Chains A and B, each alone.
Chain A
């Protein structure tokens, strides 16, 4: 059983100092329940934050050096190809940068492996991985899948181990040049977050003060239409009409 934990070049959310991100450390913790020795993998310009994970139970760190702003995916794929892990674990999203949380999905797609998001517990039995997945409101779902697989870890997973200097000193770092992969997508614009004003329901726009207040303070009702025992065609049509009305689907082209 060989487990690889992906580590990002994370920053502490308050201090901004290089610090491994919590879900990645929790991933190390989960991986240590499956195997004694857990390796980490980081692709980026420097591994300062990822190196910190060595003190939290990681035995070995593989660093693939790529220029800042480059896509880490090709380097990660190459490293995973040579390491041949049974299981790749990742946090929910990186601890710095765009933090889209898409990398594990892109990785799983490129590897052709299944992916399960938001794991809180892992167990392996004869090449079959059992994942307990966290769902909203404390619900849990059990998945069984054949290895290899990619799994991301939820913050509700057991707490990560604290930093231990002794473990950090014993940890090994293997560094190699990664595969440069400049991102060709347009640079994203960054703006400070601005809360949007709430739209007052149009029905209340011209009404009296009491109605406008009610519209502004009350949650919108369920709305919609109740169809009792409709035919499948009718039901499908109603769903399509609704999706078109709210703009999820394009308006029906001339039919």
Chain B
């Protein structure tokens, strides 16, 4: 009997303990509803999903990526090798223990990086508590094991090996104890979440951002209690490692509204456990107090439960948290599921959202305005109705922004451009109902489904090649969410469409100097649809001095206008559009280019030191008008 053999036995014992803890953790997910999971494909795909998809997210923070590779890789390699030491030929080989020592040395370096990130000062986004103890346990286990391996490799068999064994056993036991309710849970739940992910399309190159339709015949609509979630959603909540990347990305958190995606996931992960682990991260800013009572069959949302409704209604559904999450958790799905219960069962929606939902339902337009008035913005411009033409090449979907003066200017510019390029276009006119985006994000799936069916029935009567829209929210709903209702269309955003026209030479552009310009990516175009290149290509054709904000592309910050947040109007310490405008000014831009009516409205509402807000269509029209001669030549 020597220390090395002892280490091998300890690791085997720890593995047995870990299996017991793992089974205890997994049993808790069984309270959730059943979900269709393709286990064979999922389990086989774990390595690819981990090494490609997860790494793609983790690597945005190179320090964290190296830290995790060293710590996890070294720990697993060292432990597996040390357990193999039970086989006599290996267990007596000095060289073998040298290899084990090397693996644990790598793990110790990773553990040191974990510690350096947290000591002496822990960044605000990281959680404390058990997470603060993690580097110590890690150091004890891999450090102790390193001593044992060095001892065996050098053939000393001295007291140092026994000391190392004791320290490694204590550290290892501590780590296993963290498996069910501590930081180490992410390893088990994270791996299984990759296999049983509720949106497997995410790993196969799909955007997979469309909300999943609610079953309107279910006995309970939406999610009221943890047991209403599908089991693999509960698994997803347990996968959270509290890295706080979502917290940094969340616009509502930045604005001091009572939402913190990290705490939300922790509350949901704790909601179905008898004794939820204590949370030691940032709270919901300014959140009204709640009773904090949870349980598998207890309501999740409410002053007497875990999560205050204000937290739910602060979300702009911008998906920044989902984009940043290395554990591939679907925060927005959870929020919309919870909202669906609040809206469709309790009618507990924020006061400001009631008129929008009622008018969406009874007037088919969230503002309650006449559908025929949608085309009023175009006074004087020819706007042919598809009902009169019967068919057209491009059907222009106007969206609810058409009623607003600001977006009306954008649409006028777009229509002018269509005329100049000689496009065969038409609108639905009074037959265009609201696409239902607002109702759906506010949890009113019933009204959304009614609007979707009505619009699809209208569209099925006409023939057109594709739908053009200047509203990314409508684009997302028509392109990605109507297919679930059997409406399949080719939908193109005006940024891509104008870029196409410019590339084909159908629009002649001249440089229209407008100072430094920054492009603000709409969430529903960039993150939801992955379209970040076409708007930039288009802007670069205009010969402007374009600069990038720190947060741009798929990682851009929301303007605060999505998900019904403007009508829900949850109070914060700051306004989201003010923060975004400050980011525009921070890169010295005097013009901010937008591509969405919501973004235009939110950013136009900022006062003080502001950049001019111009839609892409307006900028392109200015460039076309600056080139009258070239235009004639191009024709």
Contacts and interface: CB of A to CB of B under 8 A. Distances in A.
Contacts of B358: 160, 162-163
A205 interface: no
Given A14-B370, A15-B363, A164 B346 contact: yes
B343 A162 contact: yes
Interface in A147-202: 159-167
A15 B354 contact: no
Nearest to A160: B354
B368 A14 contact: yes
Contacts of A52: 362
Contact of A14 (B343, B347, B369): B369
B351 A163 contact: no
B364 A15 contact: yes
Nearest to B216: A165
Given A12-B362, A15-B363, A57 B347 contact: yes
Interface string A14-25: 110101000000
B347 A164 contact: yes
Given A12-B362, A14-B368, A164 B354 contact: no
Interface in A179-236: none
Interface string B355-395: 00110011111001111000000000000000000000000
Contact of B221 (A12, A56, A163, A166): A166
A160 B347 CA distance: 10
B345 interface: yes
Nearest to B367: A14
B153 interface: no
A166 B217 CA distance: 9
A162 B347 CA distance: 6
Interface string B330-361: 00000000000001111101010110011001
Interface size class of B (residues with CB under 8 A): 20 to 34
A162 B371 contact: no
A17 B347 contact: no
A15 B360 CA distance: 11
- Which secondary structure characterizes the binding site on chain B? loop
Contacts of A161: 347, 354
B447 interface: yes
A162 B362 CA distance: 11
Which of A17, A19, A56, A165 gathers most chain B CB within 10 Å?
A165
B444 to A, nearest CB: 7
Contacts of A17: 362-364
Contacts of A12: 362-363
A161 B363 CA distance: 17
B235 interface: no
B509 interface: no
B345 A167 contact: yes
A19 B450 CA distance: 15
A14 B358 CA distance: 13
Contacts of A167: 345, 347
B446 interface: yes
Interface in B444-486: 444-447
Nearest to B221: A166
Contacts of B361: 19, 163
A16 to B, nearest CB: 9
A129 to B, nearest CB: 26
Contacts of B362: 12, 15, 17, 19, 52
Given A17-B362, A57-B347, A162 B446 contact: no
Contacts of A166: 220-221, 344-346
Nearest to B218: A166
Contacts of B370: 14-15
**Most chain B CB within a 10 A radius of its CB, from A17, A52, A55, A166:** A166
A59 to B, nearest CB: 13
Contact of A164 (B344, B351, B368, B369): B344
Nearest to B222: A166
Name, among B345, B362, B444, the residue most crowded by chain A CB atoms within 10 Å (CB to CB).
B362
Contacts of A159: 351, 354
A185 to B, nearest CB: 31
A165 B351 contact: no
Contact of A162 (B353, B369, B445): B353
Contacts of B346: 164, 166
Nearest to A17: B362
A95 B519 CA distance: 48
A164 B361 CA distance: 11
Nearest to A57: B347
Interface in A13-64: 14-15, 17, 19, 52, 55-57
Interface string B430-454: 0000000000000011110000000
A162 B363 CA distance: 14
A43 to B, nearest CB: 22
A23 to B, nearest CB: 13
Nearest to A20: B362
A155 to B, nearest CB: 13
Nearest to B446: A165
A15 B433 CA distance: 11
A163 B369 contact: no
Contacts of B216: 165
B450 to A, nearest CB: 10
B363 A164 contact: no
A17 B362 CA distance: 7
Nearest to B442: A162
A52 B371 CA distance: 21
Interface in B528-582: none
A12 B360 CA distance: 12
A143 B363 CA distance: 37
Given A14-B369, A14-B370, A163 B357 contact: yes
A182 B362 CA distance: 31
B138 to A, nearest CB: 48
A165 B621 CA distance: 45
B197 to A, nearest CB: 29
Interface in B145-191: none
Nearest to A18: B362
B354 A165 contact: no
Given A12-B362, A17-B362, A165 B344 contact: yes
A55 B345 CA distance: 9
A162 B221 contact: no
A165 B358 CA distance: 12
A14 B363 CA distance: 7
A73 to B, nearest CB: 27
A209 B277 CA distance: 86
A143 to B, nearest CB: 27
B447 A164 contact: no
A162 B354 contact: yes
A165 B349 CA distance: 13
Contact of B357 (A14, A15, A162): A162
B623 to A, nearest CB: 39
B358 to A, nearest CB: 6
A80 B216 CA distance: 35
Interface string B212-249: 00001000110000000000000000000000000000
A15 B446 CA distance: 19
A96 to B, nearest CB: 13
A7 to B, nearest CB: 14
Interface string A52-84: 100111000000000000000000000000000
A15 B364 CA distance: 8
A15 B371 contact: yes
Contacts of B351: 159
Interface of B: 216, 220-221, 343-347, 349, 351, 353-354, 357-358, 361-365, 368-371, 444-447
In order of increasing CB-CB distance, the 3 nearest A-B pairs are A19-B362, A166-B345, A164-B347
Given A14-B363, A56-B347, A163-B358, 8 more contacts: A15-B371, A19-B363, A162-B343, A162-B349, A162-B357, A165-B221, A166-B221, A166-B344
13 contacts: A15-B364, A15-B365, A15-B370, A17-B364, A19-B362, A19-B363, A161-B354, A162-B353, A162-B357, A163-B347, A164-B345, A165-B221, A166-B220
